[in-house]
């Protein structure tokens, strides 16, 4: 009868394995070349340092480029702002010139309208056509008045308003004196007459009013 236990069988198998196996090759590990290893590590370190320097140089170049771009953008923004201001100034000058031309037309129409209002037909001449002449002159005056009103509305839509002068104290900012009068019933330096109408645009003088001023 076989009386060996499983433990005995395992021990026997282990003993047989130890007797048959050659362990010489297990102790013959190749030893690493430390000098080559250190050399490789030193080379790697050098490469890392070189890459770091190159990366830093690239970052510095990018930083300089960003600063240059910021400066260029700032300069461009300033130039655009100046160009916008110049354009607005040119537009204001063009508008001012146009409005002064309109005001000159207004002056001429006003003078013609006043002449028509002050016209009186001579009784001794053209008596037979006097009624027709009066009606004709009246109709021309009405047309002049309508044209003046329309021109005034056009100026007002462009923020241009006449300066109120007569009966007001003289204001050197909006008026210029071209005649002197003497009216003891009024205070000194009061405007007696408006000889040429003045105009404001956006509370700034577009054209000075020419006035006659009281001097006691």
Q: How high is the pLDDT of residue 9?
A: 75
The topology under which CATH files domain 160-216 is Nucleotide Exchange Factor Grpe; Chain A, domain 2 (2.30.22)
**What is the C-alpha separation between 6 and 13, in angstroms, rounded?**
11
**Segments making up each domain of the chain, as ranges:** 65-158, 160-216
Q: What is the pLDDT of residue 126?
A: 54
Give the pLDDT of residue 122.
Answer: 64
Tens-place pLDDT, residues 156-187: 999 999 999 999 999 999 999 999 999 999 99
The pTM of this model reads 0.60
- The segments of the chain whose pLDDT lies below 50 read 1
Note the pLDDT of residue 54. Answer: 87
**Alpha-carbon 12 to chain mean position:** 101
Q: What is the pLDDT of residue 1?
A: 46
160 contact partners, CB below 8 Å, separation of at least 6: 99, 103, 199, 200, 201, 206
Q: Please, what is the average pLDDT of the chain?
A: 84
pLDDT at 132 (0 to 100): 76
């Amino acid at each position: 009868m076989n009386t060996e236990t499983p433990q005995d069988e395992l021990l026997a198998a282990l003993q047989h394995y130890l007797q048959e196996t050659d362990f010489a090759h297990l102790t013959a590990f190749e030893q690493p070349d430390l000098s080559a290893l250190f050399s490789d590590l030193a080379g790697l370190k050098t490469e890392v340092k070189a890459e770091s320097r190159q990366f830093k140089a690239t970052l510095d170049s990018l930083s300089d480029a960003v600063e240059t771009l910021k400066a260029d953008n700032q300069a461009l923004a300033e130039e655009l702002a100046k160009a916008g201001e110049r354009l607005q100034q040119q537009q204001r000058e063009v508008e001012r010139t146009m409005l002064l031309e309109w005001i000159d037309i207004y002056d001429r129409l006003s003078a013609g309208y006043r002449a028509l209002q002050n016209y009186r037909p001579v009784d001794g001449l053209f008596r037979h056509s006097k009624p027709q002449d009066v009606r004709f002159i009246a109709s021309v005056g009405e047309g002049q008045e309508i044209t003046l009103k329309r021109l005034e509305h056009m100026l007002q839509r462009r923020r241009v308003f006449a300066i109120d002068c007569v009966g007001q104290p003289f204001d050197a900012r909006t008026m210029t004196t071209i005649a002197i009068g003497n009216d003891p019933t009024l205070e000194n330096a009061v405007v007696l007459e408006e000889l040429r109408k003045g105009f404001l645009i956006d509370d700034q003088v577009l054209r000075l009013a020419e006035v006659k001023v009281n001097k006691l």
